[in-house]
Amino acid sequence: QSALTQPASVSGSPGQSITISCTGTSSDVGGYNYVSWSQQHPGKAPKLMIYDVSIRPSGVSNRFSGSKSGNTASLTISGLQAEDEADYYCSSYTTSSTVVFGGGTKLTVL
Amino acid sequence: QVQLQESGPGLVKPSETLSLTCTVSGFSISSAYYWGWIRQPPGKGLEWIGSIHHSGSTYFTPSLKSRVTISVDTSKNQFSLKLSSVTAADTAVYYCARMFPIRHFDYWGQGTLVTVSS
C-alpha cells in the first residue's frame, strides 16, 4: 500500500488560516469516512486532533477542523498560533483492513 | 487516565529479533479497542506496523507481515511486538497506541528508540 500524499511543508502567519491536504485513492480516503489527523511536536508522541474526517476529540481546540472531498481530505487550522507549529500526519482505513499514514507536513508559523 | 509505556532493548543486532512490550494502565486491554504498534525512522514519517484485539484478532501492514508477531497478555494488561530478521532499516522510534478498531489512534505511549547495529 502506498502512503497518502501530503505537502512537505506549509506556513502561515499568526492569526491566519492554513489548510493541509491529504490525497489518497478510492481504496482508502475516498472509500471511507475514516480519515484522522495527528499533530506531532519535536521529540513528542503524536496527538490525535481529528478523527472520522471531521470529529474533534474532547479537549482539542475548535480552531482545528477537517473535511473531505473525493479522494482528498483536508485539515484546516484557523487563527494560527505559535504553538501550532508542528508536524501533521493524516491516516486512513483501507479496503485491505489496514491503516496507511501520509508522509507528514511540517507547519511553520512565521 | 489511559497511559501506555513501551519497554525493551534499545539496541538490537542485525538479523536478530526486536522485542518490545507495551504496558497499559488506567484502562483494561480486554475491551472493544484494538492495540497497535507504529514506528518512525529518524527524521521520517509514521508507519503503522500492526494491531491486535484481546481476542487475538490481528491486522498487519503488508510490507512487514512476514516478520511481525503481535501478542497480548490480558493478565498483565500488556501487549507485545516481535520483529524478526532486523536490518538497519528497522531503526526507529517505536510507539504503542490504543486504536479505535482499525481507524484511529487516540492514546499513545511516549515512544522508544530502537537502533539496529552490530
Q: Pick from B103, B108, B110, B113 the residue to mutate for testing the A interface (most A CBs within 10 Å).
A: B103
Q: Pick from A29, A34, A98, A106 the residue to mutate for testing the B interface (most B CBs within 10 Å).
A: A98
Work out the percent of chain B whose per-residue pLDDT is above 90.
94
Residues of chain A with pLDDT under 70: none
By DSSP bridging, strand B78-83 and strand B58-60 are unpaired
Q: What pLDDT, in 10s, does the model give residues B12-24?
A: 999 999 999 999 9
Question: Is residue B102's pLDDT more than 80?
Answer: no
Residue whose C-alpha is closest to residue B110's, from A44, A90, A6, A22: A44
Q: What is the pLDDT of residue B26?
A: 96
Q: How far is CA A71 from CA A4, A26, A40, A86, in A?
A: 10, 6, 24, 24
A45–B108 C-beta distance less than 8 A: yes
B61–A51 C-beta distance less than 8 A: no
CA B38 to chain centre: 6
Grid coordinates given for A10: 506549509
